[in-house]
Structure 1
Amino acid sequence: MSASVYDSALYAGLFGAPDMARLVSDTAELRAMMIVEGALAKVQGDLGLIPQTAGNAIHRAALELQIDPGGLARETGRSAVPVPALVAAFRTEMQAPDHAAWLHYGATSQDIVDTALALRLRQALALAEAGLHRVLGGLARLAGMHAETPMAGRTYGQAATVTGFGAMAASWGTPLLAARDEMPALRARVLRVSLSGAAGTLSAMGEAGPDVRAGLAAALGLVDPGRSWHAERDGIAALSAWAGRVTGATGRMGEDLLLLTQSGIEEVALPGTGGSSTMPQKRNPVMPSLLVALARTGTALDAALQGAQLHRQQRDGAAWMTEWMVLPQVLMGLARSLAVAGDLAEGIAPRPDAMRAAIAAGGGLIHAEALSFALARQMPRPEAQDAVRALCAEVAGGAGSLAELAGARFPQLDIGALFRPEAQLGRAPAEARAFAARVRALPEPEAFPGA
């Protein structure tokens, strides 16, 4: 077994998220750090903090040089951060010592690592937004198409009252819609440049420091926080919590689909199922199960990243390393959850006949609440409830269906109309259509340039 399912060739078809995997690779990390170093030197050269020719040469080299991550492993293991080894290799590969001497001027390793992370998180959030858009589109289609498709609403695993499948699809999507609405604020917290120097004072750059930071932010298309945030990890924690809510929402969708597809219910058909090595009849709900597993894992990983906010003094190696170990897995789980949820949202097929059969099952007891409120318009409500409870007990004893017994006991009621499932949908169709309309009004997700 691989150390991580996300790195496994065997499990790639189950857990793989290729686009996100490229963003959390060693190659992408080094490339982003080199871009940051190059942009920093160019800004410093333009501001006269270092020779402009050196700044331009470093910037050009950052875009052209190729550095092997494996060649930095030994020094990274010694320093516990890859930047010293990267800077040394960069200077060697430039073959221009007079220019290379100005590389990494006034910065510290955390400036480079955190800013490079922001560049990759910009792309990661773009992928997540596209994934959300796809899931929401599929759920909106289901919600609109099945706004008036009645099904049994279940509480504590038991039939309660009638609801609509469209409303259920909308309930899966509403938390995802909220997560999408939060993305501008999340980007503002996460996509920040870091340039603060050794202990957060930016002293090595003197009075030019704030201008360099602002210029670097502009060059990279990131936010200038106007201060040091080395030890303030609330942005990463917010990203992790947001990802946890997204995977939690898709996991809840998975839980519901597991129940809706189980033997004896089968109210939904899945777009793809798994087989058994020994039971030919099995059609296992693999994709919903995967959503649940990813949600549970995401919750555990989020706890680690929330704990990494306990960042001691001006820099805390232990807290920082925790982020490196956990954040890539959070992003991979997020991407895979959205891909699987998108496949399901676009591919599941409700079975209205099975849904109606579930409503009719159990002697029609699902209509008990509607009956009690109809009777309450003709007698005190406590009496109406007592009368319906008595009828429910008779149904449970095998005396007949609730419709038959109520029709005999209360002939003044139009039982046929009262027990018609569509008559009991309440606000479910309106909520389903409102959700679908909100999704249709969304703009297309923006495409962000690669870092």
Structure 2
Amino acid sequence: MSLFEAVLSTSEMRGVFSDRSVVDAMLRFEAALARAQARLGLIPSSAAASIAGSCKVELFDVAKIVRDSGRAGSIADPLVHSLKEAVGLFNADAVPFVHFGCGAQELVDSAMALLSREAVALVDADLAQAVQALLAQAQRNATTPMLARPAGQPGPVTSFGLVCVEWAAPLVRRRVRLAEAARRALQVQLGDGAGMADRMQGQGAAVRRQLSEALGLRDPGADWRTERDDWIALGCELGLMVGCLGRVANDIALLGRSEIGELAEAGDAGRGERPASVVALAAAQRAPQRVAALLASMPQARAPGSWQAELAEWPQLLMSAHGSARALAGALPGLQVDAARMLANIDRLRTQLPPGSAEPGLDPAQAEAAGVQALAQVLVLQSASEPFDPSDAAG
């Protein structure tokens, strides 16, 4: 990852998709696979013990596995090769049972589901903070009069509280949809077609169920290598969320312009003169291309390179999503609201009207009605979403 990409993400999300973390997730899958097969009598228990005991990331040269993946076209082959070498040092008889009855895509897809579960939980936590900060601002400023600015131009008087509610409502909807999409998409990958029936002696579905329970991922009931709609739908939900956060950031940037001066982000020595909203705006410009790349891979799910292209885009999308959510989660609680400037902008617009002309919608008293509406909506939004629970993914 370049320095410029790191600026737009978070250390936590970079950690989730670090080389070491990816290898560790793949080893967790291999250990769970061996244990499940041993319980069903498909491989010897002693082999499963040796395999699971060797699936410790600290035993592996992660950098070498990554280097070798370039020649192999997938990280699965060099990892399995390294795992066989590690197992062979202690139990040569167990080597034939490493990665038994499993394909490269099944290994990598399942590992990516494990990592994405962690990633979505990070995104949801910061998204929840952003929502709560907006609802708190809505309550504090329920009747604070300000000009609505449709299309960036001064409009009728509303309240800043109602504006905050209008920012928060799409984010609440996105939290709900993101959790729903994650519960469908975060699933174990293990085929059960004719080839699997031969390799697994007809117990492929049973192995998959046990893998699902062990890894905390949903059992899809079938192979989803070429049926990636639920997986891509999760990516689309992330893109929508980033777009909604970008809309909030764009409005904050507009209201913070010197000629308007109604909002200001709290100072942060770590950011210098670059406000947090800039990160959210940058993410909103990058995410659509990531989502488009995921969608483009769907019609050619079995074509060479399509799966690899999808995998390369996935972490980048989640990094943009978390960078955006984290930026606003940090900025919104300390958002500085200049109520006097809001009122002054209303008065200035009124004075600019030609003498004798009507002043539709420019009465600050209108903010009272908008405030009542805002407070009613706050109560609805506060009870509208549940946090994403990673343990629900298997449900």
Q: TM-score, normalised by structure 1?
A: 0.80
Q: Does 1:345 align with 2:287?
A: no
Give the direction of change, closer, same or farther, for the CA distance of 1:153–1:211 in structure 2 (3 Å limit). Answer: same
1:59 equivalenced with 2:58 (yes/no)? no
What are the Cα deviations for residues 46-92 of structure 1, in whole angstroms up to 9, with x where unaligned? 00011112112212221475212221245322220111211111111
- Alpha-carbon distance between aligned partners in 1 of 2:195 and 2:377, rounded to the nearest angstrom: 46
Indicate the SS of the match to 2:148: strand
- C-alpha contact 1:232 1:311 (8 A) present in aligned 2: no
1:421 pairs with one of 344, 361, 364: 364
Q: Please state how far the C-alpha of 1:125 moved relative to its aligned partner.
A: 1.0
Equivalent residue number for residue 136 of structure 2: 141
Q: Which letter does structure 2 place at the counterpart of 1:176?
A: L
3-state SS in 2 of match to 1:48: coil
Q: Which runs of at least 4 in structure 1 moved beyond 4 Å after TM superposition?
A: 197-202, 400-403, 442-445
2:69 to 60, 71, 76: 76
Asked which structure has the greater RCO (Cα within 8 Å, sep 6+), the reply is 2
Q: How many percent identity over aligned positions?
A: 30
Question: 2:300 is aligned with what amino acid?
Answer: H
Change in CA separation of 1:143 and 1:424 when aligned onto 2, cut-off 3 Å: closer
Partner residue in 1 for 2:290:
301
Provide the residue aligned with 1:289 in structure 2: 278
Query: What do the CA deviations read for 1:382-420 (whole angstroms, capped 9, x no partner)?
Result: xxxxxxxxxxxxx43xx36757xx9xxxxxxxxxxx964
Any residues of structure 2 matched to 1:357-372 within 5 Å, and which? Answer: 357-363=344-350
- Report SS of the residue matched to 2:300: coil
TM-fit CA distance, 1:439: 4.5
- Is 1:311 the counterpart of 2:300? The answer is yes
Query: d(CA) in 1 for partners of 2:132 and 2:293?
Result: 32
Q: In structure 2, what is the equivalent of residue 233 of structure 1?
A: 228
Moved more, 80-89 or 332-341: 80-89
1:307 and 1:34 map into 2 onto residues whose CA distance is 30
Which residue number corresponds to residue 216 of structure 1? Answer: 211
Unaligned ranges ≥5, structure 1: 7-11, 276-282, 366-394, 407-417
Report the Cα distance in structure 2 between the residues aligned to 1:328 and 1:200, rounded to whole angstroms.
31
Paired amino acid for 1:356: L
Partner of 1:390: none
- Number of aligned residue pairs: give it: 389
State the SS of the aligned residue for 2:299. Answer: coil
1:123/1:448 contact within 8 Å kept: no
Cα pair distance change 1:134/1:331, threshold 3 Å: same
Task: Tell whether the 8 Å contact from 1:111 to 1:197 is kept in structure 2 after alignment.
Answer: no
Task: After TM superposition, give the deviation of residue 202 of structure 1 in Å.
Answer: 4.8
SS class of match (1:163) = strand
Cα distance per residue 1:190-239 (max 9 Å; x no partner): 11000017997554213111111111111111111111111122233212
User: Is 1:25 the equivalent of 2:18?
Assistant: yes
Question: Which residue identity lines up with residue 289 of structure 1 in the other structure?
Answer: V
Q: Distance in 1 between matches of 2:324 and 2:362?
A: 39
- On the 8 A contact 1:15/1:336 being kept in 2, the answer is yes
Gap change, CA 1:149 and 1:285, over 3 Å in 2: farther
The answer on whether the counterparts of 1:22 and 1:28 sit within 8 Å (CA) in structure 2 is yes
Name the Cα RMSD after superposition: 2.7
Measure the CA separation in 1 of the matches of 2:358 and 2:77. Answer: 77
Structure 2: distance between partners of 1:105 and 1:223: 21
1:38 paired residue among 31, 34, 37: 31
Unmatched runs of 5 consecutive residues or more in structure 2: none
Given that residues 143 and 432 in structure 1 are in contact (C-alpha distance below 8 angstroms), is that contact kept between their aligned partners in structure 2? yes
